[in-house]
Amino acid sequence: MEPARKVYLQPTPVRIWHWLNAFGIVTLIVTGAQIRFPEYIQLFSGYKSAILLHNTAGLVVAVSFSLWFFYYGVVARNMLKIYVPSKDDLRFGIGRQAKFYLLTYFLGWPNPHHPTPENKFNPMQKSAYLAIMFVLMPLIALTGILLTNVSPLRELVILIGGLKILVAAHFLLACCLCAFLFTHVYLATLGRTPLAYIKPMWTGWEEEEPDRHSHPAA
Amino acid sequence: MTTKSIITMLGALLLSPTSLALAEAGARQDHSQLLVWAFLGMCALIVIIQLMPVVMIAFGLIRGLVKDKAPQPQAQAATDE
Ligand code: HEM
């Protein structure tokens, strides 16, 4: 039997960004829940601790986001190619991939997408990651920065509609991110084994599967 | 002790806000710094573990270079014969 071929899909900076980001965002969600609902959620010793940890995690996520941006935009210079879906992706790819996730995966059919370093995401992943990394993350970071600097950025806060609107927007965006996270983690476990797609995100190397060639995390 | 009184006691323990008040009192002594340092420590661990293969490859390369430059007496002896 031929040994399984391995592809180097996730370079070191992407892996460092991803796991700092994942750890940071889980921390942000948990501490954010306590800050928002202090009467019901008391996971950390006190309100003050939750706020301090939330602000620190926000800073780590922002720094790691910059690493992601710098790597794809300046070093690899393939950000748009990797993250923006093509016309074909939008016209046929998304439907084909949705059919796989909703139906044919459960019938044991192979994944229609075969990842390569230059085309590692299927059309649904591209669309989801594009929305998360280019819209949701910048917006949530922006509202977070405004909330931690209300007095120096007072005019901007008023321009947006005031503190209440800002708090509501930050919370709603966080809910969207939370929804993405659950879907993302669920789809990340749909490999041959539950860790088959998570391991490559840690080591960088993905083993090509004999029947299912792709990783459906989105 | 009757079952009823045990249940009442447990209920009082779990539902009364005393435990929360105690937790709050603990918080006043401030564990916030510790939590932040634990979080940053985990982040540092992620970075170090991810950089380990890169450091090992770099180390191997340097060792290879140093070895290449060093004189090889055995090979010399073999060509002399
Ligand atoms: C906490 C648990 C998480 C797990 C287990 C996880 C798992 C994975 C896996 C297995 C991949 C590789 C498959 C793929 O390329 O799609 C991946 C990629 C990705 N994940 Fe996550 N993830 C987590 C959290 C997050 C969070 C919180 C975000 C963003 C807010 C995120 C955003 C991304 C993005 C954008 C990619 C593509 C990275 C690239 O190759 O450029 N992930 N994730």
Looking at the domain assignment, is residue B47 inside a domain?
A: yes
Residue of B nearest to A27 (CA): B39
Using the Cβ of A35 and the Cβ atoms of chain B, whether some distance falls under 8 Å is answered with no
- Considering CB atoms only, which of B20, B23, B50 is closest to A12? B50
Please report whether residue B37 resides in a domain: yes
CA of B17 to the centre of ligand 1 (A): 39
Instruction: Please list the pLDDT of chain A residue by residue as tens digits (218 residues).
Output: 567 789 999 999 999 999 999 999 999 999 999 999 999 998 887 899 999 999 999 999 999 999 999 999 999 999 999 999 999 999 999 999 999 999 999 999 988 998 899 999 999 999 999 999 999 999 999 999 999 999 999 999 999 999 999 999 999 999 999 999 999 999 999 888 899 899 999 999 998 766 544 444 55
- B44-71: buried (b, 16+ CB within 10 Å) or exposed (e) per residue? eebeeebeeeeeeeeeeeeeeeeeeeee
Question: What pLDDT is recorded for position A217?
Answer: 52
pTM for this one?
A: 0.83
Q: What is the pLDDT of residue A214?
A: 44
Task: Compute the nearest-CA separation of A57 from chain B (Å).
Answer: 8
The dihedral over CA atoms of B9, B12, B14, B20, expressed in degrees to the nearest 10, equals -140
Q: Report yes or no on B58 lying in a domain.
A: yes
Q: What is the pLDDT of residue A208?
A: 79
Q: Is residue B27 part of a domain?
A: no
Q: The tokens of A133 are what?
A: 């990394």
pLDDT at A205: 95
Place of tokens 């921390």: A27
- Give the list of residues 6+ apart from residue A25 with CB closer than 8 angstroms, or none: A57, A61, A177, A181
- pLDDT at position B22, please? 34
Residue B15 in any domain: the answer is: no
Give the Cβ contact number of residue A135 at 10 Å.
12
pLDDT in tens, B4-60: 565 454 344 333 333 333 334 344 456 779 999 999 999 999 999 999 999 999 999
B56 domain residue, yes or no:
yes
Measured in whole angstroms, how far is the alpha carbon of residue B75 from the centre of its chain? 47
pLDDT tens figures, A35-82: 999 999 988 878 999 999 999 999 999 999 999 999 999 999 999 999
- The pLDDT tens digits for A142-153 are 999 999 999 999
Q: Which residues of B touch A24 (CB under 8 A)?
A: 43
With 90 as the cut, is the pLDDT of residue B1 above it? no
Alpha helices in chain A (DSSP H): 12-36, 47-70, 79-83, 87-88, 94-102, 123-131, 137-148, 154-160, 163-188, 198-203
Residues of B in contact with A20 (CB under 8 A): 43, 46-47
| Nearest to A217, CA basis, from A1, A4, A29, A18 | A18
Q: Which domain holds residue B37?
A: 33-76
Query: Does some domain include residue B19?
Result: no
pLDDT score for A191: 82
- At residue B4, the pLDDT reads 59
Provide the pLDDT for residue A131: 98
| Distance separating alpha carbons of residues A106 and A7, to the nearest angstrom | 25
Say how far apart CA A50 and CA A39 lie, in whole Å.
13
Spatial CB neighbours of B20, under 8 Å, sequence gap ≥ 6: A42
User: How distant is the Cα of A184 from the closest Cα of chain B, in angstroms?
Assistant: 20
**In angstroms, rounded to a whole number, what is the distance separating the alpha carbons of residues B7 and A113?**
58
Mean pLDDT, rounded, of chain A = 93
Could B51 and A12 be called an inter-chain contact, meaning their C-beta atoms sit closer than 8 Å?
A: yes
- Number of structural domains (chain B) is 1
CB A10 within 8 A of CB A201: yes
| Chain A neighbors of B39, CB-CB under 8 A | 27, 53, 56-57, 60
Burial of A36 (0-12, 13-18, 19+ CB in 10 A): middle
ipTM for the predicted complex comes to: 0.90
- DSSP state for residue A162 in the 8-state scheme: -
Within a domain: residue B28?
no
Fold of the domain built from segment(s) A6-84+104-207: Fumarate Reductase Cytochrome B subunit (1.20.950)
- The span from the CA of A151 to the CA of A149, in Å, is 6
CA B63 centroid distance within chain: 29
Q: Return the pLDDT at B56.
A: 94
Average pLDDT over residues B56-80: 76
